[in-house]
């Protein structure tokens, strides 16, 4: 091999080595940045967890079975207008985030049911079920309760 060719091969090898080294350093910096972002995201998530309490309830019918589609209205004691309105799911469950300040809430549930006979709903025999309960939230806590409709 001639000297010129060896110099070119060496220069190419050095250039490729430097390029690979720079890519490795850049990847490590990206990983550090991603880790830092993840830490700040985790810290934000932990801070958000402390920013609210949770009311978790289950709506039960007169036969003590969970009820689907119950309209749930939640408002602080002393206020007439509802702050939150939601519906129970297929297991009769519902949940609502509330502020961490210590407060009492009135939870009201309403539903209209029609008995089914021979596969058809009997609209002439509709029943309006209603229930109410009082819930106290004291800070960033999870409070489970039942809402019985009669």
The H or E element containing residue 36 is helix 3-49
CA–CA dist 113, 47 (Å, integer) = 42
DSSP string, 40-106: HHHHHHHHHHTT-EEEEEEEE-TTS-B-SS-EEEEEETT--S-SEEEE--TTSEEEEEE-SS-EEEE
Q: Are residues 38 and 91 in the same domain?
A: no
Give tens-digit pLDDT for 119-149: 999 999 999 999 999 999 998 899 999 999 9
Q: Are residues 111 and 137 in the same domain?
A: yes
Higher pLDDT: 39 or 79? It is: 79
Q: Are residues 43 and 65 in the same domain?
A: no
Q: Are residues 62 and 120 in the same domain?
A: yes
Cβ count near 76 (within 10 Å): 16
Into how many domains does the chain fold?
2
Q: How confident is the model at residue 44 (pLDDT cuts 50, 70, 90)?
A: low
State phi, psi for 115 to the nearest 5 degrees.
-65, 150
Higher pLDDT: 113 or 40? It is: 113
Q: Are residues 142 and 98 in the same domain?
A: yes
Q: Are residues 128 and 60 in the same domain?
A: yes
Q: Are residues 45 and 111 in the same domain?
A: no
Check if the beta carbon of residue 107 is closer than 8 Å to that of residue 72: yes
Give tens-digit pLDDT for 16-25: 778 777 777 7
Q: Are residues 36 and 59 in the same domain?
A: no
Structural domain including 67 reads 53-148
């Amino acid at each position: 091999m001639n000297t010129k060719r060896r110099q070119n091969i060496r220069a190419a090898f050095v250039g490729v080595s430097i390029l690979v080294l720079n890519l490795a350093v850049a990847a490590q910096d990206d990983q550090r940045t991603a880790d830092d972002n993840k830490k700040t995201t985790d810290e934000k998530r932990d801070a958000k967890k402390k920013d609210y309490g949770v009311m978790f309830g289950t709506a039960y019918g007169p036969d003590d079975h969970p009820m689907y589609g119950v309209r749930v209205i939640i408002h602080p004691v002393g206020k007439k207008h509802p702050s939150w309105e939601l519906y129970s799911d297929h297991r009769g469950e519902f949940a609502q985030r509330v502020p961490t300040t210590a407060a009492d809430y009135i939870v009201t549930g309403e539903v209209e049911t029609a008995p089914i006979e021979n596969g058809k709903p009997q609209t002439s025999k509709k029943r309006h079920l209603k229930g109410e309960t009082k819930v106290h939230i004291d800070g960033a806590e999870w409070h489970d309760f039942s809402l019985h409709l009669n």
